[in-house]
Structure 1
Amino acid sequence: MAIHRNLMLARLVAAAGASLFLLGAQAASEPQRKAKPASAKPAAVAPVPLNDEELLLSTQVSIGNIPCELGQSVNLRADADAPGYFHLQLKNQRFHMRPVASATGALRLEDQARGAVWLQLANKSMLMGPGQRLADECMSPLQAAYAEHLKHNPAPNLLDVAQKSR
């Protein structure tokens, strides 16, 4: 009887050990779930403050919902948290733009991190992405009016002006 009791006890210990082993193996195979910190959002990088020239350029940017060719539209709005910066959205693409001085006279906004450039001329704007044009023939109401004016009053050809001055 003692042998039978010892055999039963040995089986019980073996079963308990096997259960503990299986529980340990299951726990090891499950991914560790750590408590997330209260702010799971990545910290936003503070934009670089603009100089006086860039702030002046930012006052000339046409903002709002700007229609473009092919039925597209760009939504351009001032960044309330960063003076002189803008949020630009084209469909599901979002850019954080800053004004950049341009030698050509075009108003230029850039999102250097994403490689996007918004060029604003007197009569139209366009959005360039890395190696491609994302939106073209974008016109605010003021730009559309100026484009219409140019149809009836074209700007003089620079070559003609240079010849007349000789």
Structure 2
Amino acid sequence: MTKTLALIAAAVLALPLAATAQSSTDAKPAAKAAAKPAAKPAPKKKPQVTRRAAKAVEEVTPIDTSTDVTLNEADLAVAGRVHTGKIQCELGADVTVTADESKPGYFTVSTKGAKYRMHPVESRTGAIRLEDPRAGAMWLQLGNKSMLMNQKQGLRLADDCQAPAQVAMSAELKLNPPKSLFEGADAPTSGPVKK
């Protein structure tokens, strides 16, 4: 499992390098084409990180052990997007996420025999990530599912947890699955011709 995660993370990180290598090999034909007037380049799109890649990266990102945490506006905005309530998981497990009324941005995350006090942490992939630095626990919330892990113990305590909004997104993904990285980009749409 760890090797698979490492391979996925390596593939995600290698894609920009492959694009750079490809563009340098295309430099000679580009020099010949320089004599012709160049078309305006299309605006660059921000690369999309797949849910599987986001999950792989976030699972191996170590928990910040600092217990002196001050939440900023961005952290509080992330906290507003956390799904709360009793969330059903695979194998009959469940996780209860409760917002702390006395301290905005903090949550109590509990499951069978485990209870954590968590706060939002900036994520490199855009996933919602809550951490309990003392216990080494992390709640990772993706668009279609969530999971509870304890990195100190090396355990995944609950997996494939889905709040109602995540169930809806999961159903949507089954009907309209995202394109694979290897399928290529969509052809440009033909719009009005500008002269």
How would you bin the TM-score normalised by the shorter chain? 0.5 to 0.7
For residue 117 of structure 1, give the secondary structure of its aligned residue in structure 2: strand
How far 1:160 moved relative to its partner?
2.1
**Structure 1: gaps spanning 5 or more residues:** 1-45
Task: Write the mapping of 1:70-109 to structure 2, written as runs, cut at 5 A.
Answer: 70-109=91-130
Pick the structure with more strand per residue.
1
Asked which structure has the greater RCO (Cα within 8 Å, sep 6+), the reply is: 2
Amino acid at match of 2:164: P
**Structure 2: gaps spanning 5 or more residues:** 1-66, 189-195
The yes-or-no answer on 1:55 pairing with 2:81 is no
* Candidates 157, 163, 166, aligned match of 2:180: 157
Task: Write the mapping of 1:21-36 to structure 2, written as runs, cut at 5 A.
Answer: none
Regions of 4+ moved over 6 Å: none
Cα distance in 1 between the residues matched to 2:83 and 2:185: 32
Amino acid at match of 1:132: L
Match of 1:140 in 2: 163
TM-score (norm 2): 0.58
* Candidates 116, 126, 138, aligned match of 1:117: 138
Cα distance in 2 between the residues matched to 1:163 and 1:86: 41
How far 1:105 moved relative to its partner?
1.2
Q: Deviations over 1:95-127 (max 9, x none)?
A: 000000101111100001000000000000000
Cα distance in 1 between the residues matched to 2:149 and 2:119: 14
Q: Deviations over 1:24-46 (max 9, x none)?
A: xxxxxxxxxxxxxxxxxxxxxx9
Match of 1:42 in 2: none
Aligned residues: percent identity?
Answer: 47
The 8 Å contact of residues 47 and 82 in structure 1, kept in 2 or not, is answered as no
TM-score (norm 1): 0.68
